[in-house]
Amino acid sequence: MNDVRDRSHRLNRTTGIARHGRLRRTGAAGTLVKALSGVAAVALVSTASVAAIAAKQVTDDLGDGVRIEGQPAPRAAGSTGLSSYRGGFNMLVVGTDNDPEQGTAYGEREATLNDVNILLHVAADHSNATAVSIPRDLVAPIPACRKPDGSGTTAAQSARPINTAWGEGGLNCVVQTVQGLTGLDVQYSAAVSFKGVIEMSNAIGGVPVCVAQPIHDRYTGLDLPQGTSTLQGDQALAFLRSRHGVGDGSDLGRISSQQVFLSSLLRTVKSNDTLTSPATLYKLARAAASNMQLSQSLNDVGTMVQMGRALQDLPLAQVNFVQYPGTTGGTGVYSGKVQPSTELATQLFAKIKTDQSFSLGADSTGIGSERAASAAPTSAAAGPTAAASPAPSAGGAASAPATGAAPAGTAPTGSAAASSAPDDTIDGLQGQSADEQTCSKAFGS
């Protein structure tokens, strides 16, 4: 079982200021796909089984970890118990797509970009959580950052796309940039790659994803029928990478489409035996550890177990996936980029900093997704890794098939959901709660 080598050094290569290079049939280099590994990593350590079965091998896979300025020092080996994490925490998941071992299968890049940035906040009482997706082209200040090779620091920049932060100083620089943007202290961070998405989606047996119209994307090779298909492996990766196939063809549309996948992923993990199956947890742990670069503060199986246990009983209705608020169509430094919506961002992070739960306003799903229709048609199987099922209704129940079975990942509805309703609404924010059944919208629909 020692076939998985420590690969955490792969993402440590930085070559000057990151910039877009040549892409071969991708058109969408940065996606939320790598964040899948981060979300699943929290779930996969939700029981003590992972510590009992995989602690040694997973620890070996993790390597030494990355030193992040301001983050806690690594714990001594074996110092962390198996109780629930005490208090709240913020974890940043960064996605890069320049893993040397993937070759040119996903396009050629001249440098590494942090095209995916998701900040996960868990409240101190573990009653709610929020995952904020920061668009790769959001313009923000990038501070002076220590160079990974120790040769000095880079110059601070007042307004740059956030996905250039990795090229300035690796994972540490991305953390410092996000802290400055959000005003939150980030205690834990991780970077993940394409390969981890494939391996982890296979380990859990796939994720059911609803699409409102057939999706065809020649750039990623995605070809999905209308309805619900179970995606894993390369097909799951293609769905999460698809930009030209969903919404308006923009990265913002892709984020809302990807939230369809991520919310279904969380429902699936909590509804099947993933959290209680030692075999599945072990496969997930090895897949994640061998394709992730963790901060020293997170580079400990016991810490991850505690964090997972804190989330184990968190109601899905109290988990929000949201997009950092921003607009397009600006001028000057914002031309062709995403300009932060300062007032709305202030409202969002005021809630997060005070651990207040919140709901999203009407039509919040964004330009790449929509709430599922109650009578969406059933799809045919979409390739060898797809299994069709009826599209769920907006209330979370499937449209009644002949067998009466609901698709995997369907969230419970009724009084339980009502009893855990958030205490406030943020109008204008795009996203969805994890218990909402939504469908990706095809490009131009």
Residue 279: CB atoms within 10 A of its CB come to 11
Q: How many domains does the chain have?
A: 1
- The tens digit of pLDDT for each residue in 385-398 reads 333 333 333 333 33
- Least confident segment among 9-13, 253-257, 380-384: 380-384
pLDDT at 423: 58
Q: Is position 12 within any domain?
A: no
Supply the mean pLDDT for the chain.
Answer: 75
| pLDDT at position 15 | 41
Answer yes or no: are the C-beta atoms of 342 and 365 closer than 8 Å: no
Exposed (0-12), middle (13-18) or buried (19+): which is 138, by Cβ within 10 Å? buried
Task: Kindly state the average pLDDT of the residues 46-60.
Answer: 50
Mean pLDDT score, 273-279: 67
With cut-offs at 50, 70 and 90, classify the pLDDT of residue 173: very high
* Percent share of the chain, pLDDT over 70: 67
Residue 63 lies in a domain: yes
CATH of the domain at 50: 3.40.630.190
Average pLDDT of the segment spanning 393-422: 35
* pLDDT score of 212 more than 90: yes
Place of tokens 């380990």: 203
Half-sphere exposure of 34 (CA within 13 A, CB side): 27
Q: How many CA atoms lie within 13 A of 57 on its CB side?
A: 18
Q: Identify the pLDDT of residue 268.
A: 87
Mean pLDDT throughout 418-432? 74
Confirm whether 364 is domain-assigned: yes
- Contact assessment for residue 58 and residue 52, using Cβ atoms and an 8 Å cutoff: no
- pLDDT band, very low/low/confident/very high, at 205 (cuts 50, 70, 90): confident
Which residues, 6+ apart, have CB-to-CB distance to 390 below 8 Å? 227, 228, 376, 378, 398, 399, 400, 401, 407
Whether 77 shows a pLDDT value over 60: the answer reads no
User: Which pLDDT score, from 0 to 100, does residue 302 have?
Assistant: 73
- Confidence band for 109, pLDDT divided at 50, 70 and 90: low
Residue 162 lies in a domain: yes
Q: Is the pLDDT of residue 283 over 70?
A: yes
Assign 83 to helix, strand or coil: coil
Q: Which of 108-117, 208-217, 257-266 is predicted most confidently?
A: 208-217
**For residue 11, is it within any domain?**
no
pTM of the model: 0.76
Compute the average pLDDT of residues 62-77: 73
- Assess whether pLDDT exceeds 80 at residue 124: yes
Read off the pLDDT band of 273 (50, 70, 90).
low
Tell me the HSE value of 313 on the side-chain side, using a 13 A CA sphere.
7
Average pLDDT of the segment spanning 145-174: 93
Least confident span in 3-7, 207-211, 376-380? 376-380
Residue 337 confidence (pLDDT) above 90: yes
**What pLDDT sits at residue 200?**
79
Residue 357: its pLDDT value, please?
93
Would you mind telling me the total number of residues written for the chain in this entry?
A: 445
Q: Could you tell me which of 210, 262, 286 has the C-alpha nearest to residue 58?
A: 286
- Whether residue 23 lies inside any domain: the answer is no
Write down the pLDDT at residue 104: 56
Task: Give the pLDDT score at 428.
Answer: 93
Please give the backbone phi and psi of residue 55, each rounded to the nearest 5 degrees, phi first: -55, -50
Residue 8 lies in a domain: no
Kindly state the percentage of the chain with pLDDT values over 90. Answer: 43
Q: Is the pLDDT of residue 401 over 60?
A: no
Give the chain's end-to-end CA distance (angstroms, integer): 47
The b-or-e profile of 36-67 (16+ CB within 10 A means b, else e) is bbbbbbbbbbbbbbbbebbbebbbebbbebbe
9 falls within a domain: no
How many Å apart are CA 136 and CA 338, to the nearest integer? 8
Confidence of residue 108 (pLDDT cuts 50, 70, 90): low
Over residues 173-184, mean pLDDT: 96
The residue range of the domain holding 87 is: 28-440
Instruction: Provide mean pLDDT across the span 300-314.
Output: 75
Q: Contact 236/324 with Cβ under 8 angstroms?
A: no
Confidence of residue 60 (pLDDT cuts 50, 70, 90): low
**Of the ranges 268-272, 382-386, 417-421, the best mean pLDDT one:** 268-272
Q: Which two tokens stand for residue 181?
A: 């943007």
Give the Cα separation of 286 and 284 in Å (integer).
Answer: 6
Geometric angle at alpha carbon 167, from 250 and 291, rounded to 5°: 80
pLDDT at residue 274 is higher than 90: no
Q: Single out the residue of 47, 53, 127, 52 nearest to residue 84, CA to CA.
A: 47
